[in-house]
Each structure stands twice: as structure tokens, then as C-alpha cells.
Amino acid sequence: MKSLAAYLRNIFLSMRLYEFGRHNYVDPGVMIVHPEYVSIGDNVIIHKDTLIHVAAKEKIKGRPIVKIGNRVHLGFRCWIAARLDITIEDDVGIASNVTIQDYIHSYEDVTRPIKDQPLTGEAPIRIGRGTVLGANVIVLPGVTVGEHCMIGGNSVIAKDIPPYSVAVGNPARVVKVYDRELGKWTRVE
């Protein structure tokens, strides 16, 4: 049974988010900046110290920028930073300390600190149904991770990962794929 505090937190979130499903658990200490651009499905768990930060490139009301599907599990201290579009499909597992960011800072002007330069390079990110991102994974702008993928801890995903793959490393590379004809996972040479 949920605590009264958890129940009240869910009511508060349901009033502020673009959409907030049923039977969710959001730990205290989760911060959502600009919640009106965040949609969360049903049966989602978000652990403490997670930050979902939306700095919308175009402030269009009535359209979520961060979309989290049903039965998603976000581990401790995750960071989701969005300007354009981040979609996390149903049944995705995200371990602790994962960063998903759909933009970068400009750095071209050497007369200004990078932190003071505009945000740029926005490109949508999609994490496919049933995928798991291991601890400390970083997902860069413009990446699609296919469904039912396993991404090893500490990987940096800089390019698309096809469905039914195991990927590891920096940059992440596919090391196994599911072979439907053989009915088993096979190593990629």
C-alpha cells in the first residue's frame, strides 16, 4: 500500500505534468523542470535524485517533449535533458546514473566560455520497447535504440543500435544480435 505522501505526490504530479498515468511511484527528491512538457505512462517507477529537465526549443503547449511509456523503471540519479523530443517506450529499464540528452552546447566561439554559448545540435532520441540501459550509460542526440536491446554499463551511444542487439563500449558497438532463424543470440565479428 502506498504511503499518504506518495499518494499526494502523485496527485500533485498529475496536475502539473502533460500526462501522468496510474499506479506510478515517484520517489521524493525527483525533480521535473517544466513538467507541462512531460508525459508519464502507467506503472512507472522513478527513483530519487533523478532530474528530468525540459528546455523546450519551441514552447508549443499541448505537446509533450519527454514521453515515458508504461512500466518504465528509472534508476537513481538519472538525468534526462530535452529540448526537442525524447521518447522512452514501454517496459524500458534504465539503471542508475544514466544520461539521455537530445542537445549539446555550442563550442565554436573561442572568445566565450562553452557554458555561455547557445544550446544546439538538437535531434530526437528514441529508446525502444523492452530495452535496458546499464549503469552510467550516456545517450547522445539523434540516437535510436531499437527494441529489446541490452546496453552494457558505461557505454556511450553515439549512433543507432538495431533492435535485438547487445551493445557495449565507448562508442557503443553491437557485439551480439538475436538470430531469428537460429533462435539464439550470436556474436558479431
Predicted local confidence at residue 2, as pLDDT: 63
Query: pLDDT tens-digit profile of 140-157?
Result: 999 999 999 999 999 999
Predicted local confidence at residue 1, as pLDDT: 46
Mean pLDDT, all residues of the chain: 94
CB atoms within 10 A of CB 147: 18
Query: pLDDT tens-digit profile of 84-97?
Result: 999 999 999 999 99
Find residue 174's DSSP bridge partners: 167
DSSP letter for each residue of 60-89: -TT--SEEE-TT-EE-TT-EEEESS-EEE-
**In degrees to the nearest 10, what's the CA dihedral of 150, 153, 159, 162?**
-10
**CATH code at position 32:** 2.160.10.10
Q: Is the pLDDT of residue 134 over 90?
A: yes
CB within 8 Å of 128: residues ≥ 6 apart: 89, 92, 144, 145, 146, 147, 148, 149, 163
Q: Which amino acid would we find at residue 78?
A: C
Domain total in the chain: 1
CB atoms within 10 A of CB 157: 24
Query: pLDDT tens-digit profile of 30-86?
Result: 999 999 999 999 999 999 999 999 988 877 777 899 999 999 999 999 999 999 999
Rounded CA-CA distance 88/162 in Å is 15
**In degrees to the nearest 10, what's the CA dihedral of 43, 47, 49, 52?**
-30
Query: pLDDT tens-digit profile of 113-127?
Result: 999 999 899 999 999
Q: Is the pLDDT of residue 128 over 90?
A: yes
Q: For the whole model, what pTM was predicted?
A: 0.93
Confidence of residue 131 (pLDDT cuts 50, 70, 90): very high
Domain that holds residue 118: 4-187
